[in-house]
Amino acid sequence: MPQIFRQEEIEYNDLQSDLKPYKWYSSPRLSDLGKSKDLFLNMRELDPDKYSYPYHLANKNRRKFNKLYWIMLVITLCGFTNPAKELKVTYLANCGYLYESSKSKVLIDPFGTEYGGFFYLPSNETMLNIIKGNVPFDKIDLLLITHIHGDHFNAKLTESFLLNNIKAKMICPAQVYKQMKDSCKSFDMIKSQIISPTLSLSEMRKIKINDISVSVIRMQHGSVRSLEGVSYSDYTDYEKTENFGYLIHFDKKIVFHQGDACLKLNEKALKAIDCPVDIAYLSYFDWDSTSLNILKKNLKAQTVIFMHATKPAKELESEQFKEITPQLTFFRKELESKVFN
């Protein structure tokens, strides 16, 4: 709790300029007086009526300056934004996002190239900027791929990205790893950058990469039935899709991204998440109040973003969707960014 202090209690110290006739007065650092780690201000004054322009304005504006300082002080003590707690989220397309914290950058599903007639895909320009590492896609620490489907992943583009961004690491399911191994000519040059844990359905594994902690959860891809208790030999080809959900721990924010998993069919996997999340997603596969409640009540999600909208997004016009719309956050266009404090 910041300590409140009064202006008349502040003692000013003389500070001498290199130019001998000039000096000013400075307060101690206000973070020390207010016991606030996020306050980086001190107050300074000039002798009124002593100096020529612009200093002769000091007497006239002294009260205005004092008032301004105190307004800044109140704002700072009561609601200063600490950059270390911010997370910038930039929408690419479909389920693709860029996350930027004060220490790291993470990409998820940035290279969708198929099914553009049904879902929104990133532009060629955006994907080229990602591959080349152009701002804001410079210094990417981690690339996450949720599953092998073409609206989320492209092996050749991913190969180019890893070749051009040699410090970046990548986490992906085994099916994605295999496709890259089988189709990428330079796979031997990038394989050390790829992490592909083998997980059974609903299993979680924690992975630490630099300052980023990621919990990888094997989740059932969207389907019409639960696969709990169903023999793998009885899965359809579509149900055999290996889908990873990611719980990403940034400095002060936790993001949960389930890829194409249907929340209602992944109760066991979601129980493995034992911490509240700051940002979660509701997708095309289960955009209803039941799934929203799973995120809000079970995961304690503060912000729920809608992703994986269809073309022309007719689901948004349904009465069922309109009921939950006020509780959702939307990104309307490619490269739109929002900062979450």
Which pLDDT does position 85 carry in this prediction?
Answer: 84
Position 198 in a domain: yes
Quick one: how far is CA 82 from the chain centroid? 16
Closest C-alpha to 94, from 111, 71, 107: 111
Measured CA to CA in angstroms, residue 256 lies from 146, 248, 308 at distances of: 12, 6, 15
pLDDT tens digits along 315-325? 999 999 999 99
Which pLDDT does position 133 carry in this prediction?
Answer: 98
Q: Which of 79, 110, 128 is the last residue in one of the domains?
A: 79
Specify whether 46 is located in the same domain as 119. Answer: no
Which pLDDT does position 282 carry in this prediction?
Answer: 97
- Its pTM stands at 0.78
Which pLDDT does position 7 carry in this prediction?
Answer: 55
Residue 268 tokens, joined: 């066991």
What is the total count of domains within the chain? 2
Specify whether 100 is located in the same domain as 199. Answer: yes
Position 1 in a domain: no
Residues in CB range of 28: below 8 A, 6 or more apart: 10, 11, 13, 42
Q: Which of 79, 104, 139 is the last residue in one of the domains?
A: 79
Which pLDDT does position 77 carry in this prediction?
Answer: 43
pLDDT along the chain (341 residues), means of 10: 52 56 59 52 57 46 46 44 83 98 97 97 98 98 98 98 98 98 98 98 96 96 92 95 98 96 96 97 91 97 97 90 97 98 93
Position 64 in a domain: yes
Specify whether 40 is located in the same domain as 19. Answer: yes
| Residue count of the chain | 341
Q: What is the chain's Cα-based Rg?
A: 26
Residue 267 tokens, joined: 């109760």
Residue 50 tokens, joined: 């002593």
The DSSP line for 1-37 is: -PPP--GGGPPPEEEE-SSTT-EEEEPPPHHHHHT-T
Specify whether 124 is located in the same domain as 221. Answer: yes
Which pLDDT does position 21 carry in this prediction?
Answer: 54
Which pLDDT does position 313 carry in this prediction?
Answer: 87
Residues in CB range of 330: below 8 A, 6 or more apart: 305, 306
What is the domain extent for residue 304?
Answer: 83-335
Specify whether 55 is located in the same domain as 115. Answer: no
3-class DSSP state for residue 326? helix
Amino acid (one-letter) located at 29: R
Assess whether the previous peptide bond of 28 is cis (omega < 30° from 0). no
Q: Which of 79, 107, 134 is the last residue in one of the domains?
A: 79
